[in-house]
Chain A
């Protein structure tokens, strides 16, 4: 579904990603774990074309999506939930969600929007309760749900999430990851970038470990979770977090 081949990118003379390759198969959750500054967000920004790669290619369903404008990427079925949520605070929840349905209009599937909205409300009942509230009044966790819900309104076949757990309390994180797994189970493929390695690996099928812009390990999520070197380097912190 997604094939990243030898991708390099950076800002000016600063190289962040160095010839990185990875792939995501239909129906999988693939997670990319790594410390702060490893290049996780840069990777997602480059994949979606927000940042130009200095070399390499990103094939989405066989097509190089770096050469097409970001909104076209969404149209083709690949949506990004950016880091830090970025919902429209001054707009009601419902309007925020409907914004995400914009490509469905372009696809001529206007009449499916109501159904999609229902589905999102089904996944996130709390959003239905807050349907007419301004997004800015939502809690952090609710805003994250809204951001995910908005991306789902575009009916993606691949959804990419940039640190959905960031700044959220452990219990909320648990909810969100539960829903991400559900999204996968309903047929949407997921690329999940996370610092919270343990939670991510628990729901993922496969994972890549990113360190200073390079993949240093990849494998089945369960194997990575059991890997004691990974535990030492990436999972210790989460443990403390869970115990809090």
Chain B
């Protein structure tokens, strides 16, 4: 099922033509209307008239999070505020949050792009969609809300929190699709179990999760516990919000709406493009945004492009699951790892609950990581031997699959903090 089949299955040559046209008009617009870009382009000796193909994108300057912060709040808007009908902000995960804006037309485009993601994840006009993202400045809730309305689904603007009530609504309103962060979905799933509710008695069919990194193992857990088909979707406020990319039901990479976003993957050190298919930092240029266009925005998110065609028929290229942010990368004794990789190992080990935290300390010159993970009830805390076996298994798996040596501590159920929005998996004591 497609939401905008013509665009989602477009011939690649046609797509490139469209991208070039849209890039040209975006560059002309920002050069005319945003002093920041005018200055930046001039400094680099770049004139939009010099662009002759998409390959010239590399001649353009990058835009960084710091540029957004320096131009706070409205400095990078390309349309006058009177045309702006909505303002949102980033979540503030990495510091002070930044502001973005939308024209009426941007909202329409956004709704359609989220419509694509929802449709790709199974949602139709017949579904009852419970939006359990926090409503507010965060783009997640309103983005999914408008998209779900656009496809004609019945939208429950639930917001996050009050988990028992979420479940009651889910039962009473016969929710068929859950939209939230994967970590919050897990909390909902656990709470359902605790309340002794049979997941079979719910009407849930689809889970559309995003806004934070998660692993395939977590997906499987969620699918089993909630009896749903779960897909991953990705976006960031700076270029729009959710709707940038989303998985189809083949669950193998997220189709990027390349007719609206031009994506590059670069080596964050050298800033040069990596080879097609290699992992690097994603850089995004918006092609249709009016109020808040972005030229070569450095997302700090690590992923790779998947050039192979997808059996679903979409020609839009896929990106792999985001491994994490460059900011979140842990360097444990010289090995780079992401919390999501640790998560994948933990979840595949029998005897643990899907709740964990990683504590980083500095011991001398070395970073030291301790993984705290909740033991499931089956492990009795008085059985020291069993505990030790479990810890050894996890350590061994970490060593063989990720190449890292970490301390592992089993903690009792429910001792690790739960999250209703984006989970905070890493506690970094080095900065304290």
In the complex, B90 has a CB within 8 A of chain A: no
In the complex, per-residue mask of B19-39: 1 if CB is within 8 Å of any chain A CB, else 0: 011101100110010000000
In the complex, A166 has a CB within 8 A of chain B: no
In the complex, B168 has a CB within 8 A of chain A: no
Tell me the B57-87 residues at the A interface (CB within 8 Å): 79-80, 82-83
Q: In whole angstroms, how far apart are the Cα atoms of A109 and B108 in the complex? A: 48
Interface size on A, residues (CB 8 A): 24
In the complex, B157 has a CB within 8 A of chain A: no
In the complex, B51 has a CB within 8 A of chain A: yes
- Distance in angstroms from B56 CB to nearest chain A CB is 10
- Decide if A227 touches B49 in the complex (CB within 8 Å): no
Tell me the A209-235 residues at the B interface (CB within 8 Å): 209, 211, 214-219, 223, 226-229
- Decide if A227 touches B21 in the complex (CB within 8 Å): no
- Decide if B24 touches A23 in the complex (CB within 8 Å): no
A residues in contact with B17, CB < 8 Å: 3, 5, 21, 23
- Distance in angstroms from B93 CB to nearest chain A CB is 33
Known: A19-B49, A226-B104. A216 touches B21 (CB 8 A): no
- Distance in angstroms from A45 CB to nearest chain B CB is 20
User: Nearest A residue to B52 by beta-carbon distance?
Assistant: A6
Max count, chain A CB within 10 A of own CB: residue among B24, B50, B82, B83: B24
Q: In whole angstroms, how far apart are the Cα atoms of A219 and B14 in the complex? A: 15
- Decide if B105 touches A6 in the complex (CB within 8 Å): no
- Decide if A226 touches B48 in the complex (CB within 8 Å): no
A residues in contact with B83, CB < 8 Å: 228-229
- Decide if B25 touches A5 in the complex (CB within 8 Å): no
A residues in contact with B130, CB < 8 Å: none
In the complex, B91 has a CB within 8 A of chain A: no
In the complex, B53 has a CB within 8 A of chain A: yes
In the complex, A18 has a CB within 8 A of chain B: yes
Q: In whole angstroms, how far apart are the Cα atoms of A223 and B108 in the complex? A: 9
- Decide if B51 touches A19 in the complex (CB within 8 Å): yes
- Distance in angstroms from B17 CB to nearest chain A CB is 5
- Decide if B105 touches A23 in the complex (CB within 8 Å): no
- Decide if B25 touches A215 in the complex (CB within 8 Å): yes
- Distance in angstroms from B189 CB to nearest chain A CB is 41
| In-complex Cβ contact of B28 among A22, A216, A227, A228 (8 A) | A216
Q: In whole angstroms, how far apart are the Cα atoms of A72 and B80 in the complex? A: 47
- Decide if A21 touches B24 in the complex (CB within 8 Å): yes
Q: In whole angstroms, how far apart are the Cα atoms of A147 and B256 in the complex? A: 46
In the complex, A173 has a CB within 8 A of chain B: no
| In-complex Cβ contact of B24 among A19, A55, A228 (8 A) | A19
- Binding site of A, secondary structure by majority: helix, strand, loop or mixed? strand
Q: In whole angstroms, how far apart are the Cα atoms of A216 and B49 in the complex? A: 12
- Binding site of B, secondary structure by majority: helix, strand, loop or mixed? helix
In the complex, per-residue mask of B247-290: 1 if CB is within 8 Å of any chain A CB, else 0: 00000000000000000000000000000000000000000101
In the complex, per-residue mask of A1-31: 1 if CB is within 8 Å of any chain B CB, else 0: 0010110000000000011111100000000
Max count, chain A CB within 10 A of own CB: residue among B21, B22, B51, B82: B21
- Decide if B52 touches A19 in the complex (CB within 8 Å): yes
- Distance in angstroms from A5 CB to nearest chain B CB is 7
- Decide if A218 touches B32 in the complex (CB within 8 Å): no
In the complex, B398 has a CB within 8 A of chain A: no
User: Nearest B residue to A215 by beta-carbon distance?
Assistant: B25
- Distance in angstroms from A213 CB to nearest chain B CB is 9
Tell me the A18-60 residues at the B interface (CB within 8 Å): 18-23, 55
- Distance in angstroms from B8 CB to nearest chain A CB is 16
A residues in contact with B51, CB < 8 Å: 19
B residues in contact with A226, CB < 8 Å: 104-105
A residues in contact with B105, CB < 8 Å: 219, 223, 226-227
- Decide if A218 touches B49 in the complex (CB within 8 Å): no
| In-complex Cβ contact of B29 among A55, A208, A217, A223 (8 A) | A217
Q: In whole angstroms, how far apart are the Cα atoms of A19 and B108 in the complex? A: 29
In the complex, B1 has a CB within 8 A of chain A: no
Known: A216-B29, A228-B83. A21 touches B108 (CB 8 A): no
| In-complex Cβ contact of B48 among A23, A214, A229 (8 A) | A214
- Distance in angstroms from A22 CB to nearest chain B CB is 6
- Decide if B21 touches A214 in the complex (CB within 8 Å): no
Known: A5-B20, A217-B25, A218-B21. 14 other contacts (CB 8 A): A3-B17, A6-B20, A6-B52, A6-B53, A19-B52, A21-B21, A22-B21, A23-B14, A55-B52, A211-B28, A214-B48, A214-B49, A216-B28, A228-B83
Which B residues contact A (CB, under 8 angstroms)? 14, 17-18, 20-22, 24-25, 28-29, 32, 48-53, 79-80, 82-83, 103-105, 108, 288, 290
Which A residues contact B (CB, under 8 angstroms)? 3, 5-6, 18-23, 55, 208-209, 211, 214-219, 223, 226-229
Chosen A-B contacts, 23 in total, with CB atoms closer than 8 Å, are A18-B49, A19-B24, A19-B49, A19-B51, A19-B52, A22-B21, A23-B14, A23-B21, A208-B21, A208-B25, A211-B28, A215-B24, A216-B29, A216-B32, A217-B290, A218-B22, A218-B25, A219-B288, A226-B104, A227-B103, A228-B82, A228-B83, A229-B80
